[in-house]
């Protein structure tokens, strides 16, 4: 399935209990594909199509660290019980991080296709990964070769450990839900009516899985079907269950999140953000606060029990970095770029490279930033003329292989205002 093409789908929904989003964390330059919350509820971790992961402080509402290692989209993230972080991506690699360190502590390799989901075992000793190479892999965090679970015939899209830690559940585009006994032996397999994109398990062991038909289906811990809910009219992309097991958040490509009362099997309310696809969801330990990650690169915070957005306007930095340039036309043109790029090395780095000292610098030459091999092979020097050309014909045409979101500036006057502004604002 081509997920990047499906990002373009936008649907208008008319539903009851709709709440518009007001609050947000900005910092990514592409769809937020993965979300996780630390065990203490103080931090969040996000992974994006822009190849970066960001560790956020939920108390100060700021980006604390940008993790750069993957050469492709970061599709899945997780926190370990000891506070370390895990990221996995379309480059088929898994990285384990300690907060504050610029490089991973450990790298796991073995998959032959994009990794799209992660799960941490209840005892914190193992990691499970789901991949489009049709396999699930079990990794010991103490080291050693992974255990490979084979049987799916198409992309494996979701994986989750049972709460007692004795089994693992995987779901895939082949419509199969498999319950793998971790002690060994053949998995129990259920075939459901729709391709399956996500799975989550409640504290009592009940399994919930979301399909391409917009339905949420339930399976008992004994692998028996136990009902369903129509979460929406578009494919379910991600699931999260509140720690107390009462609520399920089902994200959709159509841009909404259905909050489902699990016991009553009803949609209690529907959250609507910007209308762009929602790719990730995560509950905080309070059983009420929900984070959602969208294709517009924004993370929103909600009260899942009321449907209300909560918090202040979260920008990822303490103040508007362009406040000093009020009234500057070039700064206003640049505002579309500020979510990914800083103008100064003193600012907290975002998903894209800093633009400090931009002019005169060769493309893909900034130290300590992971650029694609395609960009490294180019011989572009950034000048007002080359920056203008970048936005005249678009990043995909001028710098093939870039992860920069496609955008053009049609007005020559606006391009000139932007390049003049960058000359002033990025000079060291």
Where does the pLDDT of residue 8 fall: very low under 50, low under 70, confident under 90, or very high at 90 and above?
Answer: very low
- Cα separation, 1 vs 348, in Å, equals 36
| pLDDT tens track for 98-113 | 998 888 999 999 999 9
- Give residue-wise pLDDT tens across range 276-313: 899 999 999 999 999 999 988 889 999 999 999 886 43
Local confidence band at 7 (pLDDT 50, 70, 90 cut-offs)? very low
Q: What is the pLDDT of residues 388-401, one digit of tens each?
A: 999 999 888 999 98
Q: Name the average pLDDT for the chain.
A: 88
Tokens of 101: 């360190």
CB 166 within 8 A of CB 186: no
Mean pLDDT, rounded, for 214-239 = 95
Distance CA(2)–CA(291), nearest Å, equals 25
pLDDT of residue 348: 60
Is the CB of residue 349 less than 8 Å from the CB of residue 316? Answer: no
Cβ-Cβ contacts under 8 Å for 141 (sequence gap 6 or more): 80, 96, 124, 125, 126, 127
Tell me what the mean pLDDT of segment 8-20 comes to.
29
Tokens of 80: 């370990």
Structure tokens at 156: 């494996």
Residues 382 and 314: their CA atoms lie apart, in Å, by 31
| Cα-based distances in Å from 247 to 203, 212, 221, 344 | 11, 21, 18, 43
Q: Residue 298 has what pLDDT?
A: 87
- Please report the beta strands in 244-348, taking only residues with DSSP state E, as ranges in sequence order: 247-252, 256-261, 266-272, 278-283, 289-294, 298-303, 308-309
- With pLDDT > 70 as the criterion, what percentage of the chain qualifies? 90
**pLDDT for position 320:** 64
Count each helix (H run) and each strand (E run) in the chain, helices first. 6, 30
Phi-psi region of 418 (alpha: psi -120 to 50; beta: other; left: phi over 0): alpha
The residue whose two tokens read 């097991």 is 245
Q: Residue 275: its pLDDT value, please?
A: 82
Per-residue pLDDT tens digits for 167-179: 999 999 999 999 9
Q: Is the pLDDT of residue 15 over 70?
A: no
Residue 136: φ, ψ to 5°: -115, 140
In whole angstroms, how large is the CA radius of gyration of the chain? 22
Q: Which pTM does this prediction carry?
A: 0.75
Least confident interval from 79-88, 305-314, 376-385: 305-314
Average pLDDT, stretch 89-106?
A: 94
Lowest average pLDDT, out of 18-27, 38-47, 228-237, 402-411, goes to 18-27
As a whole number of angstroms, the distance between CA 115 and CA 297 comes to: 20
With tokens 């690699």, the residue in question is 93
pLDDT the model gives residue 368: 73
């Amino acid at each position: 399935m081509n997920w990047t093409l499906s990002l373009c789908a936008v649907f208008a929904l008319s539903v009851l209990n709709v709440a518009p989003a007001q609050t947000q964390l900005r910092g990514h330059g592409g769809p937020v594909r993965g979300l996780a919350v630390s065990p203490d509820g103080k931090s969040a971790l996000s992974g994006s199509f822009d190849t970066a992961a960001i560790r956020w402080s939920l108390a100060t509402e700021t980006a604390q660290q940008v993790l750069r290692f993957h050469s492709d989209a970061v599709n899945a993230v997780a926190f370990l019980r000891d506070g370390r972080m895990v990221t996995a991506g379309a480059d088929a690699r898994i990285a384990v991080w300690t907060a504050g360190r610029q490089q991973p502590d450990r790298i796991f390799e073995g998959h032959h296709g994009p990794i799209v989901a992660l799960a941490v075992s209840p005892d914190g000793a193992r990691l499970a990964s789901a991949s489009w190479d049709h396999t699930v892999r079990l990794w010991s965090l103490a080291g050693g070769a992974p255990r490979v679970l084979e049987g799916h015939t198409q992309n494996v899209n979701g994986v989750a450990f049972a709460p007692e830690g004795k089994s693992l559940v995987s779901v895939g585009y082949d419509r199969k839900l498999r319950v793998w006994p971790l002690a060994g032996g053949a998995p129990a397999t259920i075939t459901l009516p729709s391709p399956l994109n996500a799975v989550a398990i409640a504290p009592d062991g009940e399994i919930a899985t979301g399909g391409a038909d917009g339905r949420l289906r339930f399976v008992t811990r004994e692998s028996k079907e136990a009902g369903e809910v129509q979460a929406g009219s578009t494919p379910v992309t991600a699931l999260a269950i509140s720690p107390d097991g009462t609520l399920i958040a089902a994200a959709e490509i159509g841009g909404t999140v259905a909050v489902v009362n699990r016991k009553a099997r009803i949609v209690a309310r529907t959250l609507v953000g910007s209308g762009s696809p929602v790719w990730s969801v995560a509950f905080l330990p309070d059983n009420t606060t929900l984070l959602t990650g969208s294709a517009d690169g924004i993370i929103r915070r909600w009260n899942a029990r009321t449907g209300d957005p909560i918090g202040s306007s979260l920008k990822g930095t303490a103040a508007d970095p362009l406040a000093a340039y009020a009234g500057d036309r070039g700064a206003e043109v640049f505002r579309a770029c500020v979510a990914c790029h800083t103008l100064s090395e003193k600012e907290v780095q975002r998903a894209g490279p800093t633009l400090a000292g931009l002019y005169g610098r060769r493309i893909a030459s900034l130290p300590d930033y992971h650029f694609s091999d395609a960009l490294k092979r180019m011989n572009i020097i950034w000048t007002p003329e080359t920056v203008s050309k970048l936005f005249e014909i678009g990043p995909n045409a001028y710098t093939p292989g870039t992860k920069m979101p496609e955008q053009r500036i049609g007005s020559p006057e606006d391009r000139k205002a932007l390049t003049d502004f960058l000359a002033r604002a990025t000079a060291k």
